[in-house]
A and B are shown apart, each in its own frame.
Chain A
Amino acid sequence: MSAELAALSWNPLVDLEQLTAFPFMIQALEAGTIVAVMAGAIGWFMVLRRQTFAGHTLSVIAFPGAAGATLAGLPLAFGYFGACALAALALSLLARPGRDGLGGESAAIGTVQAFGLGLGFLFVSLYSGQLTDLESLLFGTFLGITATQVQTLLWVALVALAALALIGRRLLFASVDAAVARARGLPIRALATAFLLLLGLAVAATAEITGALLVFALLVTPAATAQRITARPGPGLALSVALALAVTWLGLGIAYFSPYPVGFWVTSLSFGLYVAVRCGAHLARPRPAEALS
C-alpha cells in the first residue's frame, strides 16, 4: 500500500471507477473472488465436519512449504502445494476422529502443526538471506498479485470445486452420520483423506494470495455464520459462498481507501457478521421459562 491514499468521494460510481483504475486492484478483486468461492464452499464442509483445527493446521503448514521452497530455490507454488498435501496425508494417518475419546485427535493435529512450524523456522534460519519476505509469507500480498497467478488460481479452484461436486453428496452423508454411511458401504476413510487433500489444495492456492495466517478467516467464519443461519446443505453452501464473497469485496474496497491492511478488514467484517448472527439467534430463541410454561 502506498503512502498516498485515495479519497472516498461517497459517490458510488466515482468510487467504483477509482477502485478499478489500477490493474493491481482488478487482479486483487479477481483473485479474491476466486478464493472466496472456493473457500466458502470447502469451508462449509470443514465446519460441518468439525475440522477447524485441521484446517488451521493446513493453512499454517503453507509457511514451512514456502520457506523450504525459498531455501531450495524452487518456485513458491511447489512449496505451498507440496507441504499442504504432505500435511493432509499426515493428518489423515495420525489424527483419526473418534478413535480415542480423550483428546487423541487434537494432540495429533497440534503436534503436526508444531512440527511443521519448527521445520519452517529451521528453513528460515538456514536461509541466510533477508527475512523481509517473512511478513508477506504470513500475512499475504493481496495487492501484488500477477495475472499469471490469477490464472493458476482459477484452474486450481475449478479442479477443487469439480472434485468437491463429485464427492459432495457422499461426503455430506459421511459427515452427518458416519455410522449409517459406513453401513451403506461408503468408503469413510477414503472420503476423509480425499477431503483433507482438497482442503490442503484450497489452502495452498489461497495462502499465496492472503498469506498463511488469513486463509483461515475465509474458510471458517463465513461457513460458521451460514451454518448458524440454516442447517440445509444447498442454501447453506450458497450462503457461505455469498458471505465469503461479500466480506472479500468489502474488505478489499475499504482497504483501498484506508491505511490498514486487507486482512484486518476481511477478518473484522466476517467476525462482526458472525457475532451479529449469534446474538440474533440468541435473542430469537425462546427463554427456557417461556418454553416450559
Chain B
Amino acid sequence: MFAHEFMRNAFLAGTFVALACGVAGYFVVLRSQVFAGDALSHVAFTGALAAAAVGVDIRLGLFAATVAVAAGMGLLGDRARPDDVAIGSVFAWILGLGALFLSIFAAGASGANGTQGVRVLFGSILGLSGGDARLAAAIAIAALAALLAIARPLLFSSIDAEVARSLGLPVRALGIGFLVLLAVVAAEATEAVGALLLLGLLAAPGGAARLLTDRLWWGLALSGAIAVASIWAGLALSYQIAALPPSSATIGIASGFFVGAALRAWAGSRQRRRESNPAPLAGVGDGI
C-alpha cells in the first residue's frame, strides 16, 4: 500500500489533518459549536467557488472567506458563542452565494460543469501531490500547536465561563481566537480532504470522547486518537475496496466509534439508575 506515492501523501496529510480536526473537535463538542464548524466548512466551499469564479487561487479564497466569517461570528455572537439561529441565517445566505458562484463558474468554464464543486465538497485525498500534502500537514501542525497553547484556559472557559471570567481569563477573546483557529483547520481540511470529511472528523471523535471519559485531557487525547485511527482505517479500507471512497469509509468508521460510545454511555446510565434509584423519576433528564 505504501509503495504508491499517492497513498503516502494521503497518509501524511490525512494523519495531521485528522489530528487537528480531532483535537479541535473535542473543543467544538464541549462548546456545542458543531453547527458553527459545519457552517465554516460550507463557507470554505463558497469561498473556494468564489475564487474559482473570479479566477484567483482557490486556497486564497478558502482561507480569506473562512477566517473572515469565523471572526464575524465570534464578534457578533453573545460572549463569542454565536446562537444557532443567527448561524443558521448566515449559513443559508452563504449557501445561496455558493449557488451563485457555482452558476457563474459553470457558465465561464462550460466543460468543467460542477466538477470543481464536487471536488471541494467531497475532497480528493488520493489526488494530493507531495507538495500539497506537506503544506497541509504543516498548516495542521501549526494550528494544532496554537490550539494546545491555549488549551488550558480554553478548556476552563468552555466548561464554566462565569468562573473563568471572574478569575480574570479573557473568555471572549479566547472564544474568538478559537473560532479563528477552527476556521484555519476547516479551510485546510476542506482544501485537502473535503468539507464532508471535515464535519465527520469534527463531530464524531469529539462526541465519542465526550461520552467515553469525563477527564478533559484524556478526552482531548482520545478525540485526536479516534480521528487518526478513523482516517487510517478509512484509507486502508478504501485501498482494499476500490469502489469505496476514502472519505465515506473514514466517516463510516468515525460514526461507528460514536455509536459505540453512545451505546456504552446508555448502558452505563441504565445500570447506574437501576443501582442507585430503584424507582426512577420517570423520564427526568430525557429529551424535551
Contact = CB atoms under 8 A, between A and B. Distances in A.
A253 interface: no
Nearest to B93: A271
B212 to A, nearest CB: 12
Contacts of B157: none
A221 B211 CA distance: 33
Interface in B134-188: 159
A107 B38 CA distance: 11
B243 interface: yes
Residue in A55, A114, A266 whose Cβ sees the most chain B Cβ within 10 Å: A114
Contacts of A271: 89-90, 92-93, 96
Contact of B103 (A96, A126, A224, A261): A261
Given A107-B207, A117-B251, A96 B286 contact: yes
Contacts of B202: 110
Contacts of A110: 34-35, 37-38, 199, 202-204, 207
B22 to A, nearest CB: 13
Nearest to B243: A126
Interface string A99-114: 1101111111111011
Given A111-B258, A117-B251, A216-B95, A98 B245 contact: no
B255 A111 contact: yes
B199 A217 contact: no
Interface in B79-117: 84-93, 95-100, 102-104, 106-107, 113-115, 117
Contacts of A139: 99, 102
A94 B262 contact: yes
A50 to B, nearest CB: 6
A157 B58 CA distance: 41
A115 B259 CA distance: 11
Interface stretch (A73-81, A161-169, A174-182, A230-238): A174-182
B25 to A, nearest CB: 8
Contact of A121 (B102, B203, B211, B247): B247
Interface residues of B, number: 65
A52 B88 CA distance: 6
Residue in B88, B92, B196, B252 whose Cβ sees the most chain A Cβ within 10 Å: B92
Contacts of A152: none
Interface of A: 47, 49-50, 52-53, 55-56, 92, 94, 96-100, 102-111, 113-115, 117-119, 121-122, 125-126, 131-132, 134-135, 138-139, 174-175, 178, 182, 188-189, 192, 211, 213-214, 216-217, 220-221, 224, 227, 259-261, 263-268, 270-271, 274
Nearest first, the 4 A-B pairs at minimum CB distance are A267-B96, A107-B207, A110-B203, A96-B287
17 contacts: A49-B288, A99-B286, A106-B35, A107-B29, A111-B254, A111-B258, A113-B38, A114-B254, A115-B251, A118-B248, A134-B117, A135-B113, A138-B117, A139-B99, A188-B286, A188-B287, A220-B88
